[in-house]
Structure 1
Amino acid sequence: MTTQNDTNPEPVSIAIPIMNGEDLSIALSVGDVFFMLGANGSGKSSLLYKILRDLKDRNRVLMSAYRMNSFDKDKVDYSVGNYFSQESSVKREYNPSSRRYSLNIYRQEDENLFTLQQLIHASLSNAIQLQQKVKTGKQVKNTDAITEIDQLNSILKKSGFVIELFLNNENILMARNNAYAPCREYSIQQLSDGERAAIIISSNILCAEPGSFIYLDEPERHLHRRLVSSLLSELIQLRKDCIFIISTHEIALPTYVHDSKILLVRQCEYENDEPIRWDVDLINQHDERYSALEETLKVDLLGSRKIMLFVEGTSASLDIQLYQTLFPTVSVISKGSCEMVEQSVKGLRNNQGTHWVKAFGIIDNDNKAQKKIENLAKAYIFSLNVYSIESIFYHPKIIQWVLEYAKEFNDIKDIEMTYAKITQLMQDELSKQKDHLCGRSVNMKVRSEIMASLPKQTDIEQNIIYKKTVDIPSLLHKEYQLFDNYLETKNYDALMSHYPIREANLLNPIAKNCGFADRQRYEHNVILMIQKNNDAQKFILSLLGGASQAITAAIVRNDNNL
């Protein structure tokens, strides 16, 4: 619904209080589309209603996230008297402070009914005007015959719907389903929830007065993501004489609207249950750089902090548990493989103009070639100084700290004796696994060396002969010598750091010797111990291949900018 105030507004500036105490000013003019993206509970709907209240003197159309899609009548009919009676009954000033949290269902059904009556009224008025032009001999264009119902049907068709609306001989709005042969006609009450949602949204926008502010809170409700994206892009294209302010979870939605403004909403601060400040960042102009980001990265951006750390594994893996403990003010996101970590960090780092974050990555060492490690570090992707994440959790120093931490509740009488038993277990089991562990270590070295030496584009253009010889027997012999030296000198730090110990039969036995039922309970207590042990934290940070220093520097810069 619209009011009769200012129908052609001058550009406005909206002020958003942000958490560093300053206001973020955003200019909006006719034709602008302003998206507010955020996860559930981030405060984007509260911000939309703040803007609505601040611009209370402007023509506006509001579609709440809690809108109903039903009607209180079986059929939507029309008469001039009925229309204006309904208009005076329904049209009123919004009170968004209360409407944000509770809506009168019956009142909403009245509004929905009136929205469709507006559609009918506009279409019939258009037909009358066309008839008058013909009668008076004025020039008539083909576009003059297109009514709002015609526009709605065109939008529905382009958006993938198989229905259309029409007025029967009694001026009752009906639906026609073109998926059947012959077509089926029925009451709009029989439409699906998503079809009714599309019609209500479209009718509100099509019937808005020129210059209106159109507020859409979660337009994706009741609609498939593909349908809502296409539907809104068509409506926005048609109503360039309005200003759109859209609050949404749907990260792909702005990609359908060229040159839209995007506000990433992460958090809202309340005082006496009223929203007062937001943690936001503005993407001033949507462009191809934002489109270039993979959709998974756009998902990661939602609700994230200004520093993001991508790690291997899943949301339940050791990586994410450890790094969330070490970097509590950083968003830690698991990406599965090291390749996905690389792709995510480089994707964000190469598109700095489209977002506010600084992206970092930490991956397992896996005996990568040193040159590869150095090149990755230049791209802010850091390799551990040890073979893998398990090399940290089961490092001898960590085991000793866990024994100290758990000595009372695990009833460990003698820590030194228990630790000696564990190191003997390492000695025995690693000796048995010598061939496998050395073979795996050489395998990873060979793979890394070959990948690092692959011919470059310039080599191919120069038509060089590529040759690569790998002396596997020599590499394996050196590895055996190194392994034997570690065993003879009882250098358990090196043994547990240099080899893929998750492939040895060690993890559960170590956990049980520490007094835990299994490795999961042991690993959980490693995290608890780290939270309380500053020395353990410092030691682990020293194993992150330079990631700690880079992330800490970014945190300091971020704090200084607040």
Structure 2
Amino acid sequence: MNKEEILNLIVEKQNHIKIIKEKFEALDFEDDKLCEYYKELSFTENYLFDISKELEDEIIPKIFYKKIYNNISAVNTNNLFNTLNNPNYVVNTDSLKTYCEHNKLNTIGAFVTYKFYKDLGFFTENIVVVGANGSGKSTLANNLKTVIDEKDGIVIPAQKLLIIPTFDNTPNYNSSSKEYDDYQKNYRDNKVTYNASKTDDIPYSETKKYGSEYKYVLKTLIAERAHIRNTFCTNFSKDLEVNKDDLHSKLDTAIEIWNSLIEHREMFFNESNELMIKDPSNGNDYPAYKMSDGEKNILYLIGRVLLTNTNSLIIIDEPEMYLHKAIVNKLWDKLEVLKQDCIFVYLSHDLDFASSRKAQKYWIKNFQFPINWDIENIPENDIPENLLMKLLGSRKRILFCEGKINSLDIKIFEILFPNFTITPLSSCKDVINYVRSFNKIPNRNVEAIGFIDRDFRIKEQLEKLETENIYSYSVSEIENLFLIKEFVAKYAEYKKENIDLQKLEDKVLKLLDENKVLQASNFASSNINYNFSESHVKKGNDLKNVKANLETFIANLSIENVYNERIKLLEKIVNDKDYQQAIMHYNNKGILGIVEDILSLKSNSYRLKALDFLKINEEAQNIIKKALPSI
């Protein structure tokens, strides 16, 4: 296949469309269906023009020419062109409408397929496309299924009604293979409906198609096995050279893979053409149709992949469906090895599975029914791949914060910011780095912001971080939010308790005064670490020079000044009885115990009680929000 052959086909299709449009335009038609058909003709013109231009610009790789040719061939202009040019065909609005209703152009499906090829870099390696539920993965798979030629590849849908049949005799290989090819072309997905008041609303022929997946797959595998064995026997009887390996069929391979994955059962094919399962624990046999859904699905997937032509695309919608996490990766690892000549394209919402694949990763950024997908490459990033895929699929803004899954930080933010995807990280350093990394991603749907504890940071540090969407609170650490006087008062009122807020202030300030040396020392240490992270010791040309540069760096830290300035600030807060400044600068998770003492609560119980109160009280939520950045 070369470029000229594709361009010639495009010219042929373009000529067809030109003449067909002229026939349409000669009629003064107003019928909605004819108008839609005419619009699709124009859409097809643009589609063909774009492909021809991208061929000329060498955007499409040569190895993909055959698939592009098949894709364009799927656009059905020939029938209408030939009909309209038939001298015996009477062209009028009614005849054209009838014809168009029964002869679809198929451009939409072809366009979706080509855009899919292009967006995914024309498949130079295995691919995972990640999308949340509702992102259009299954709709995309169904569109691809209607236009991908079986010579180019297969689409394995997510929803399958797996009913294993039995056979009275050995199927014929040629007829079974043809039936299997027809099945791949005409498989009906489950996104259909019927009128529940009419029991015969779905034709019998259609109900037979849906739910017969296993029939065509297993029938072809059994027929191929019999054909191989018959050929072996024929060659042996003619004294032709034969080898035991010549007896090995795709069904034998499928059974071997299945047995390697399901260790507590053994599959075999008996002399009566029956697929059987043996329970090694008791030696009992039972028919394969009694397998679990997961066990059935494994054999079905193996069969579909093994029956795929060489150099094919194997597109799988939700490859993890019905499968245990301990098996799913092993299964696809084995199948990828068996079909190394093929490209596997996984459409998945399972991020653990997606991360397990050695493949190029993409995400469905946006989907608008019925055919508009926006698929983006997942770039290399400092954020772990599994987390990055989750965040890219989020329709909410991202809020990175310090803490673990069930930490106080997360629980508070989930209450106050329900329209954000809250993502806890182990340290403030991770929060800063992840916000920076995420916001560098081009074409993302949302932006990320970060919340960090004040943790002895000075004003200049905090202001610099705010320019990068990283914010702190008006308290030193998350626990101190529950020390805000208005919140404590609301909590006491809710609990019908009296609380002496002056006593609370006095105790907090007294404890700060007692701990000011420790607080100032921690602040100085934090300041040293910050300076080391933002600057460095100047290089020296010899050891003496190195020592001198280190001494200069240490001297510039002004450790004593930093310490003394902090002591002065803390003493001023205490002397001024400035409670608000105290909870802004005092880092001590234990001071919640002061509220517990005043209200006679059990030790370490106030934070949980305060959190429960925050969940149900809107006024309390507004009080806490005032201490947090406005986002």
Alignment TM-score, normalising by the size of structure 2: 0.59
1:251 paired residue number: 351
Counterpart for residue 516 of structure 2: 438
1:93 aligns with 2:186: yes
Question: CA shift at 1:356, angstroms?
Answer: 6.4
Q: Is the 1:36–1:265 Cα contact (8 Å) retained in structure 2?
A: no
8 Å contact kept, 2:176–2:220: no
Match of 2:569 among 482, 493, 514: 482
Residue of structure 2 equivalent to 1:367: 456
Measure the CA separation in 2 of the matches of 1:199 and 1:439. 70
Q: Is the 8 A contact 2:259 2:267 kept in 1?
A: no
Would the aligned equivalents of 2:614 and 2:620 in 1 still touch at CA under 8 Å? Answer: no
Tell me if the contact between 2:509 and 2:582 (Cα under 8 Å) persists in the aligned partners: no
Aligned-pair CA distance for 1:295 = 5.1
Q: Report the alpha carbon displacement of residue 252 of structure 1 after superposing the two structures with TM.
A: 4.0
Question: What displacement does 1:199 show?
Answer: 1.2
Bigger CA drift: 27-36 or 213-222? Answer: 27-36
Question: Is 2:93 the counterpart of 1:35?
Answer: no
Determine the structure 2 residue equivalent to 1:558: none
Residue 228 in structure 1 maps to residue 328 in structure 2 = yes
Is the CA contact 1:126–1:147 (under 8 Å) kept in the aligned structure 2? Answer: yes
- SS of 1:80's partner is coil
1:331 and 2:409 aligned: no
Greater share of residues in strand: 1
Max Rg structure: 2
Asked whether the equivalents of residues 30 and 242 of structure 1 are also in contact (C-alpha less than 8 Å), the reply is no
Q: Partner of 1:428 in structure 2?
A: 506
CA contact (8 A) 1:15 1:25 kept: no
Which position in structure 2 is the counterpart of 1:283?
A: 377
Partner SS, residue 351 of structure 2: coil
Please state how far the C-alpha of 1:220 moved relative to its aligned partner. 1.1
Q: Distance in 2 between matches of 1:135 and 1:129?
A: 10
Contact 1:361 1:380 in 2 (8 A): yes
Select which of 193, 198, 222 maps to 1:120: 222
| CA distance in 1 between partners of 2:116 and 2:342 (Å) | 25
Match of 1:389 in 2: 478
**What's the CA shift string for 1:47-103, capped at 9, x where partnerless?**
433444566998875544343455355xx6751369958986994823336359999
User: Which deviations, in whole Å up to 9, do the C-alpha atoms of 1:369-419 show, x marking residues without a partner?
Assistant: 6787688668764444541234456446x659x97xx9999999xxxxx99
Of 59-68 and 117-126, the range deviating more from structure 2: 59-68
Equivalent residue number for residue 384 of structure 2: 294
Question: Which residue pairs with 1:264 in the alignment?
Answer: 364
Q: CA deviation at 1:202?
A: 0.6
CA contact (8 A) 1:213 1:242 kept: yes
Partner residue in 1 for 2:249: 147
Shift of 1:120: 1.9
The one-letter amino acid paired with 2:505 is Q
Q: The residue matched to 2:186 in structure 1 has which SS?
A: coil
Q: Is the 8 A contact 1:366 1:444 kept in 2?
A: no
Q: Which residue of 1 aligns with 2:75?
A: none
State the 1:441 CA deviation: 2.4
- Matching residue of 2:85: none
Decide which moves more: 211-220 or 101-110.
Answer: 101-110
Cα distance per residue 1:150-204 (max 9 Å; x no partner): 4435655776868775544444444578x89x99987535656544321111102
Distance 2:439 2:223 in 1: 53
Cα pair 1:508 1:519 within 8 Å, conserved = no
1:541 aligned partner = 629
TM-score normalised to structure 1 length: 0.65
Work out the CA distance in 2 between the residues paired with 1:407 and 1:56: 71
Residue 301 (structure 1) shift: 2.2
SS of 1:96's partner is: coil
Match of 2:68 in 1: 10
Conserved? CA contact 2:524–2:563, under 8 Å: no
Contact 2:355 2:385 in 1 (8 A): no
Q: Which amino acid aligns with 2:306?
A: L
Q: 1:263 to 1:427 in 2, by over 3 A?
A: closer
Gaps of 5+ in 2: 1-65, 72-108, 197-201, 601-606
Instruction: Please state whether the residue corresponding to 1:67 is helix, strand or coil.
Output: coil
Q: CA deviation at 1:121?
A: 1.7
The 8 Å contact of residues 153 and 314 in structure 2, kept in 1 or not, is answered as yes
3-state DSSP class of the match of 1:10?
helix
Superposed displacement of residue 447, structure 1 = 4.0
Q: Per-residue deviation at 1:221?
A: 2.2
Equivalent of 1:200, from 286, 295, 300? 300
- Bigger Cα displacement from structure 2, 352-361 vs 135-144: 135-144
Contact 2:225/2:249 (8 A) holds in 1 = yes
Q: Give 1:238 shift.
A: 3.9
Aligned with residue 523 of structure 1, among 603, 609, 614: 614
Q: Indicate the RMSD between aligned Cα atoms, in angstroms.
A: 5.8
- If each structure's helix is expressed as a fraction of its own residues, which one has the higher value? 2
| Partner deviation per Cα, 1:249-280 (whole Å, 9 max, x = no partner) | 222444555554523357x66xxxxx447785
Give the CA deviation at 1:494: 1.0
Answer yes or no: is 1:80 the counterpart of 2:182.
no
Query: C-alpha distance in 2, partners of 1:207/1:198?
Result: 14
Q: How far apart, CA to CA, are the structure 1 residues paired with 2:443 and 2:256?
A: 34
In structure 2, how many angstroms separate the alpha carbons of the residues matched to 1:471 and 1:530?
41
Alpha-carbon offset, residue 445 of structure 1: 1.7
d(CA) in 2 for partners of 1:95, 1:30: 26
CA change 1:143–1:436 in 2 (3 A) is farther
Over 3 Å counting, the alpha-carbon distance change for 1:407 and 1:24 in structure 2 is farther
Q: 1:166 to 1:317 in 2, by over 3 A?
A: closer
SS at match of 1:433: helix
Ranges in structure 1 where 5+ consecutive residues have no aligned partner: 1-7, 270-274, 413-417, 543-547, 549-562
- 1:115-137 superposed Cα distances (whole Å, 9 cap, x missing partner): 22221222333445566778889
Q: Which residue of structure 1 aligns with residue 164 of structure 2?
A: 71
Does 2:580 correspond to 1:493?
yes
Distance 1:367 1:384 in 2: 12
- The 1-side partners of 2:276 and 2:538 are apart by 67
Cα distance in 2 for residues equivalent to 1:148 and 1:461: 70
User: What residue number does 1:545 align with?
Assistant: none
The aligned residue for residue 317 of structure 2 is 217
| Aligned twin of 1:3 | none
Shift of 1:310: 0.5
Asked if 2 retains the 8 angstrom alpha-carbon contact of 1:314 and 1:320, the reply is yes
User: What does the per-residue CA deviation read over 1:415-469, in whole Å, with 9 as the maximum and x for residues that have no partner?
Assistant: xxx99x63x2343221442356535523532442453466979879977567879
User: 2:350 is paired with a residue of what secondary structure?
Assistant: coil
Count how many residue pairs are aligned between Structure 1 and Structure 2.
Answer: 500
Rounded to whole Å, the distance in 2 between the matches of 1:408 and 1:364 is 29
Task: Give the structure 1 partner of residue 403 of structure 2.
Answer: 313
Whether the 8 Å contact between 1:395 and 1:497 is mirrored in structure 2 is no
User: Quick one: distance in 2 between partners of 1:209 and 1:100?
Assistant: 33
CA distance in 2, matches of 1:319, 1:328: 14
